[in-house]
Amino acid sequence: MPTYILLSSLTDEGAETLKYKPERLTEVNDELKALGVEVKQQYAVLGPYDFVNIVEAPDNETIARVSIELASRGSVRILTLPAIDIAAFVKSLT
């Protein structure tokens, strides 16, 4: 299944939600699963992004739908990157 990296930044509203309800992070993971996306790894980070999520989704359309769904809530901005496994990438170069 294709892998994607989601770089997300909280809006002011999203930060306030997490301050009072930190378990919201794991609740969103369950919502993603219901939309066909599996969270493989998740990190809180410092810098221009607040979270890095490594997820698997069946196709670009599914991950695009998820990105729009999450962004439409007004609590997060997301940059979605398709990821290519290094072994597959190297093989494609030969």
Sign of the dihedral through C-alpha 92, 40, 29, 72: negative
Query: Which amino acid does the sequence have at 54?
Result: I
pTM above 0.75, yes or no: yes
Total domain count, the chain:
1
- Element of type H or E holding 65: helix 60-71
The Cα angle at residue 78 between residues 21 and 68, in degrees rounded to 5 = 90
Domain around 70: 3-93
CATH of the domain at 10: 3.30.70.920
> pLDDT for 27-70, tens place per residue?
999 999 999 999 999 999 999 999 999 999 999 999 999 999 99
Q: What tokens were used for 25?
A: 């992070």
